[in-house]
A = this chain, B = another copy of it.
Amino acid sequence: MELTERKKKILRAVVESYIETAEPVGSKALAELAGLKVSSATIRNDLADLTEHGYLEQPHTSAGRIPSPKGYRLYVNELMEEQRLSLEETKQINDALHLKMRELDKVIDQAGRMVSQLTNYPAFALAEGVRRLTIRRFDLILVDCASFIAVVMTDSSVVKNKLFRLPADLSEPQLQLLTTLLNTAFVGKTLDQLTPELMRMAEHAAGSSYGLISLVVSFAMEVLDELENSAVHTAGASHILDHPEYQDVGKAQKLMSYLSEDRSLAQALALPALSGDDTKILIGPENVADELKDTSVVLASYDIGDGMKGVIGVVGPTRMDYAKVAAKLSYVADGLSKLFGQPELPPGTPEKEE
């Protein structure tokens, strides 16, 4: 089952040529390309062998060979050379990462766009809470006698606010009371622990307050919920049209609507990456989702800190430039991890200079 050195060289040449040209590769072309000093007939024998073992495929009897998923897998595992990014490219990524970015959602969205632009494939990005978040503190700010602002801060230091208006008047002492009540009853609780029961009890303790407690707490719950399962951001779906395998509009359409609409599945797809830390490559049928069976996905995960993890990935034809894409993706993921990891500049802290 172990392949000879020459066969590996040939396989690698087939993969790389096919990645570049999207055309089946023939024995004659390989004779020159692979840098071997054997004739095309010899290569033909090896090709037949590789085909028999399932590393290559033939579109039809008299065409050249193209790599099978199994062939790509071997290539990715053993034959592929790690790609170095050029200085230019790292610079471009660094610049893009250091734009002013405030909200987590926007950083993620932006990162997805950047990757898509960088690789010329559709990309997606998402963040997810790997642990249960809680509220760290509540603040209520009186605006005028009929409205106030609620500010909640999670234990991951995300702050959100919302303006509330009320039919009846409200006084500063009332609001103070509510604030302490909220802070004693609901701080440190996870989403599941914020039961309606708890709310009713607190509401009762607050006395005549028009259900204010529940309003503010439901807002807090929304915030927690949103942070723990945030949306999947996709970008650059139109890039799939760049590639000849999607000249068939039907195919392109199927993939595109999967990418741009079926967010829940896109999420399911990204889950494998949440476990490990390095770059993951899923080739064609290795994907769980049916729509991706003849598509490859490259994934990298990054650490947001404070109990959140993110995944950023790229979708493309199985004939994808894995080396380049993986390199770029992991560079970006590292960059994001560093960005979030800076202790004195967590998300939500300004740069000194604008």
A binding-site residues for B, Cβ under 8 Å: 100, 102, 137, 139, 141, 143, 149, 151, 153, 157, 159-165, 167, 211, 215, 218-219, 221-222, 235-238, 241-242, 246-247, 249, 252-253, 256-257, 259-260, 344-346, 348-350, 352, 354
Contact = CB atoms under 8 A, between A and B. Distances in A.
A333 to B, nearest CB: 23
13 contacts: A102-B162, A137-B143, A139-B149, A151-B151, A157-B163, A159-B163, A165-B346, A165-B349, A211-B352, A235-B260, A237-B237, A241-B252, A241-B256
Contacts of A242: 253
Number of copies: 2
Contact of A159 (B139, B161, B256): B161
Contacts of A348: 162-164
B162 A344 contact: no
Contact of A149 (B151, B236, B247, B350): B151
Contacts of A161: 151, 159-161
A180 to B, nearest CB: 15
Nearest to A117: B261
A260 B237 contact: yes
B137 A139 contact: no
Contacts of A260: 235-238
A163 B346 contact: yes
A238 B218 contact: no
Contact of A238 (B153, B236, B247, B253): B253
Contacts of A346: 163, 165
Nearest 8 CB-CB pairs, A to B? A238-B256, A163-B348, A241-B253, A218-B354, A161-B161, A139-B141, A159-B163, A159-B161
Given A236-B260, A344-B167, A162 B253 contact: no
Contacts of A246: 249
A149 B141 contact: no
A153 B47 CA distance: 69
Contacts of A157: 163
Nearest to A162: B348
Contact of A162 (B159, B164, B241, B352): B159
Nearest to A109: B231
Contact of A163 (B153, B221, B237, B252): B153
A219 to B, nearest CB: 6
Nearest to A252: B241
A147 to B, nearest CB: 8
Nearest to A256: B238
Contacts of A211: 352
A141 to B, nearest CB: 5
Contacts of A149: 139, 151, 153, 159
Contact of A249 (B222, B252, B257): B252
A291 to B, nearest CB: 13
A4 to B, nearest CB: 41
A345 B165 CA distance: 8
Given A137-B143, A164-B349, A241-B252, 20 more contacts: A141-B141, A141-B151, A149-B151, A153-B163, A159-B161, A159-B163, A162-B349, A164-B350, A165-B344, A165-B346, A165-B349, A167-B344, A211-B352, A218-B354, A221-B354, A237-B238, A237-B256, A238-B253, A238-B257, A241-B256
